[in-house]
Every structure is written in structure tokens, then in C-alpha cells.
Amino acid sequence: MDETNQERRAEARKKVMAFTPVYNLANKSLLGFLGDLTMKGAQIIGEKPLQVGAQVMLTFNLPPDLPGVAVEHMDIPVKVMRCEPDTNSKTGYRLGVQFIETSPENEAIIRAILERYHFRYK
């Protein structure tokens, strides 16, 4: 990550330990899986690239045992900030997305994911 992006990230990324599929809501296709998460954005690891700067609506399938969360998925608009080849895969990508608008319900879901399924990067 370049120094400019490092300076803009205000909170530590937390790697998500739950299996969380992420779909592009526009065409209902699997985009990838949640790699890490903050209150402001996420990293998605998958096989499909997206154009940097693109704004898309994503839906996250949620783990069934999140405390206080009764919904099965979270829809959230994002802006693609990064799209890089995944160094662990010959064909995959790592997408960095920034949440454009976060409703109070989505904020509660993100907090529940972070509290239940994560470990902090060193």
C-alpha cells in the first residue's frame, strides 16, 4: 500500500474469521469473500476485478449467529478504491472498497461482525 493510502486509513483493519460471501447486487453475481473489515470499508478477495472509482451496491451474506442481528444479508453502496492482483492466487483479486453511505442498521451489523469474528492485524 502506498504512503497516501496508509495515511488516510484512520482505523486498523480487522481480518474477518467468518466465511462471508459478497455479491454484486446489480447482476447478483458472487464477487468474492470478505477479507477484512472496518467501519468505513472492506477488502474483498475474489476472482472478479472491478474498476477503481466504480460505485456499486454490494450485498454481504451474514453469518447466522451474529448477536442481535436478525437479517441474513446487508446491502451497502461502496466505491472501489483499489483493485490489485491477489499475490496468493494466480487469477484472483483483492478489492478495497469504501462504504459510501452507512445506515444505522448497517453500522450495527458491521460492529457485530467486528466484535464476533475478527483478529487484529499486527
Taking residues 18-25, report their average pLDDT.
86
**DSSP letter (8 states) at residue 111:** H
Per-chain mean pLDDT for the chain: 84
Domain ranges of the chain: 3-120
Confidence (pLDDT) at 11 = 58
Q: What is the pLDDT of residues 45-55, one digit of tens each?
A: 999 899 999 99
Q: What is the pLDDT of residues 72-115, one digit of tens each?
A: 999 999 999 999 999 888 889 999 999 999 999 999 999 988 88
Q: What is the pLDDT of residues 75-84, one digit of tens each?
A: 999 999 999 9
Q: Does domain 3-120 have CATH number 2.40.10.220?
A: yes
Q: Answer whether 12's CB lies under 8 Å from 112's CB.
A: no
pLDDT at 116 over 60: yes
From the list 117, 110, 115, the residue with the least C-alpha distance to 17 is 117
Amino acid symbol at 102:
T
Q: Answer whether 112's CB lies under 8 Å from 69's CB.
A: yes
Confidence (pLDDT) at 119 = 55
